[in-house]
A = this chain, B = another copy of it.
Amino acid sequence: MAERVTIGDLARRLGLSKASVSYALNGQPGVSEQTRERVLALARELQWYPSSSARALSGARTGVVGLVLSRDPDLLGTEPYYMLVLSGIEAALIDAEYGLLLRMVGSEPGRDLPVYERWAGEGRVDGVMLFDQRRDDPRIPLLRRLGLPAVLNGAAEPGAALPAVVPDEHGDADQVVELLHGLGHRRIVHLTGPSGLLHEERRDGLVRAAASRAGMVVETLEGDYTMGTAERLTTERLRRGPAPTAWVASNDVMALGAVRAAAREGVDVPGDVSVVSWDDSLLCEIGSPPITALDRHPRDFGHRCARALLAEIAGTGDGDTGPRRSELRVRASTGPAAA
């Protein structure tokens, strides 16, 4: 075990007090430039690292932010979306020399609450990032009570209870509906994630609004992001009689499920039915047919989320650059509406 070098060691060697060393190391006023240089040089030479626990204990930052992922592990393994968001988060944190404490819990609502409670109680993190906001989300009052900085990612109203990072949901819905309308489709099935999730409700509202402006009709089917459910819902709907010609699915996995179910029912994609995914990924690229999808820049989004949280922790305004327009990647799963 390498012997730890402390600021006490640095102070002794330099004939300074620990306070001066601390000021020098932290870029605080209170030491001459010359002293600071000497301190920094010695710290580097002796490979001094600040003890994160000592720092945290004496009231400074922990240098860590927390993220609780509330999805089923199997789904996390198949949906590339979160891994990409995660890598964007990491990129932002690295720049700020922050660490990420990651926790995966199941998808049942509320399983994450004790984690925040504990993190706050133990003083583990400086803040947390929240995804998948729900109606009357219990995390918001909880985090307020705990006094833990937090950022709501994917929220609609910037003026909400917590600072938020918003995606371009409006533009997303418009792009998708526009494409389908242009292809002659007039009826859409919107295959959503669980309706308890606010972004699913918002998306559905925006799709309906855009559709109705274009004189189109929308049927909503509530899925759960899994392929199995998407296949079942699609099969049922196709069998129930005259079905819409366009399907919009909330993620890539469900879009694939819709395509597979259609194939199994003898419904041609895109001949009889067009399919669009709200998330792009390799899954969409390799589907047969490849699936038209929105590239919502998940890495970029993760990066913005982390930066917003860091700004919140630092108390320096939100610093959010605002949403970036998604790119609709048109592939073979969409085509002219059947007559």
Chain A positions near chain B (C-beta within 8 angstroms): 1-2, 4, 47-57, 62, 64, 73-74, 76-78, 80, 82-84, 86-88, 90-91, 94, 99-105, 117-118, 120-124, 145-147, 227, 253, 256, 260, 281-283, 286-288, 298-299
Contacts and interface: CB of A to CB of B under 8 A. Distances in A.
Contacts of A283: 282-283, 286
A307 to B, nearest CB: 16
8 contacts: A1-B146, A4-B123, A47-B121, A53-B53, A73-B84, A86-B102, A100-B103, A260-B286
A239 to B, nearest CB: 22
A100 B102 contact: yes
B101 A73 contact: no
A91 B105 CA distance: 8
A62 B88 CA distance: 26
A145 B2 CA distance: 7
B256 A123 contact: no
Given A2-B120, A87-B104, A286-B287, 5 more contacts: A4-B123, A49-B118, A77-B80, A86-B104, A286-B288
The dominant DSSP class at the A interface is: helix
B256 A286 contact: yes
A111 B147 CA distance: 36
A104 B1 CA distance: 26
Contact of A147 (B2, B99, B288): B2
A72 to B, nearest CB: 9
Nearest to A50: B122
B299 A282 contact: no
Nearest to A66: B99
Given A78-B281, A101-B100, A281-B78, A121 B87 contact: no
Given A53-B56, A57-B51, A147-B1, A99 B77 contact: no
A2 B88 CA distance: 31
Contacts of A51: 57, 122-123
A317 to B, nearest CB: 21
